[in-house]
Amino acid sequence: MASKEKKEKKLLKKKDNNQEKKGLFKIKLKKKKDDDIEVLDMEEKKIKPKKEKKGKNRYVFGPIEFSFNFISLVFVICVGLYFGGRSFYYYSLQSKHSKETADTVNGLVLSHNQLAKDTAEGLHQDEDGYYFRGNIQNNYVWFANRMFRIMRVNTDGSVKLVSNDLVSSFMWGEKEDYDNSNVRVWLTPVDDIDVSGVYYKTIPAPGRFVVDTSYTVDKLQENSVEYGETEFKDKVVSLSLNDYINAGGKNSYLNNGKLYFILGYNQENSNLYIEEDGSIVECSSLDGYGVRAVITLSKNVPVSHGSGTEKDPYVVDQGNDYNYVDSYVKLGNDVWKVYGEDEETIKMYLNGYITFDGNEVTRNYSNYGNRFDYYSGDNIGYFLMNDYLNSLSYKDILIDNSYPYGEMSAETGYSFPNVYSTTYFGKMALLNIFDYVSNNELSDFFRCNTGAQMSTTQYAVLSNGLLEEAEVTDVKHIVPGVSINKSSIKKGSGRIDDPYVVE
């Protein structure tokens, strides 16, 4: 019986394996007892056929395809590492400046500003560092008794500034190139020109605070800017086309409603200036417009206080490195503003217009000639040295000094140094067009420079920056210049609300 059962089990198992391969049935044996005999009962169930495993088709790369894919992979990895590294570097740089140098100009800029995206207003980042774009209201810096606007924080931590307003108004020069222009020679020291660098000389301890500013000479195309390939460096430079465009042009903080030259050219190599609406316009090199000065503060220049707004600018901590330029001096009831100094004396212009008994005085330059002459009764020079000087209660404090009034005409090539070829010596004068004047509220007043010898025109300046040639018989405001000894100053801080007082 056992042998028979074995055979049936074997037979059924074989049948089960065969049918399972065909996917027909699954056989399950169960034991049932029928009296004393064990009977095998079969239970049949339909099952799903098992899928046979088949070998996958494998594609083998050729040597060329393998090389291409390998190079592509390496390229993608390198790009990721490069941009990832740059992002980490600039993030670290910004974090470093914001944490470690929060009391410096560069540190405060980075800690007070989040990076803007796309063309939005704010602080932007490029390969040269960080720059402001748009109508920014928190990039004001007070340095050397005057206001600047921050344009850029360079990668080395130095900070590029532009004067908030105009620093003078005169013609570019006989030639269009910047290298030999009146603008460059007036702003920065130039070898072999002793009188160069008028503006640079107004900065106290420039070697401590100011480093060279880099610039390129760019060209304005129809819808773009062609940047100059050569980089130049000067102590002080003019506001450039590159700076203006990066800041947002007419829709930026650099549009101050004034007329001023910009360093750059159009496609015809003509000079450019900024119109009152902020547009970039072609001009002649012999036209007269305002000038804005650009300097670069060295890295980590300390700030004593301020939040960067116009009313609360970042104030550079200059320690004891101050001078008198752009400070105020009170003489009698008049307030004067300093525009130049040497070791012993300071030169000042009236911070307003001449008045007699509270009434403003206007007059012509002369009846016929354009020479500054204090011997001729009809000349503005005679009026200053006699009528006006004798009316001052403090005339004895004023000292004689030399005042340049050289010719500016086609005969002299409209050259800035020629102005210093002729000077007169006295207690009072008119400013010449190359004197540093930071009070841009003054308007429509005569300067003392002589034009063509036989001309009946004289130079005058408007508050919007325009230098014009007016007839000598025209009636205009009068802004005189005087000098005093530094030793005369006894008290005061030199601020407009606490001017120096002379005793």
Reference 206, options 188, 194, 192; nearest CA is: 188
Phi, psi of 469 (to 5 degrees): -100, 115
pLDDT tens for the 503 residues of the chain, in order: 445 555 555 544 554 554 444 444 343 444 444 444 344 444 444 444 444 444 444 445 566 665 656 566 666 676 566 555 554 444 444 444 444 456 999 999 999 999 998 889 999 999 999 999 999 999 999 999 999 999 999 999 999 999 999 999 999 999 999 999 999 999 999 998 999 999 999 999 999 999 999 999 999 987 788 989 899 999 999 999 999 999 999 999 999 999 999 999 999 999 999 999 999 999 999 999 999 999 999 999 999 999 999 999 999 999 999 999 999 999 999 999 999 999 999 999 999 999 988 899 999 999 988 888 888 999 999 999 999 999 999 999 999 999 998 888 888 889 999 999 888 899 999 999 999 999 999 999 999 987 777 678 899 999 999 999 999 999 999 999 999 999 999 999 999 999 999 97
Note whether 172 and 287 are within 8 A (CB): yes
| Distance (Å, whole) CA 367 – CA 458 | 12
Work out the angle between the directed axes of helices 63-100 and 105-112 (0-180°, nearest 10).
110
pTM of the model: 0.79
| Distance (Å, whole) CA 415 – CA 422 | 13
Q: Which helix (H) or strand (E) holds 241?
A: helix 241-247
Query: Which residues lie across from 332 on neighbouring strands?
Result: none
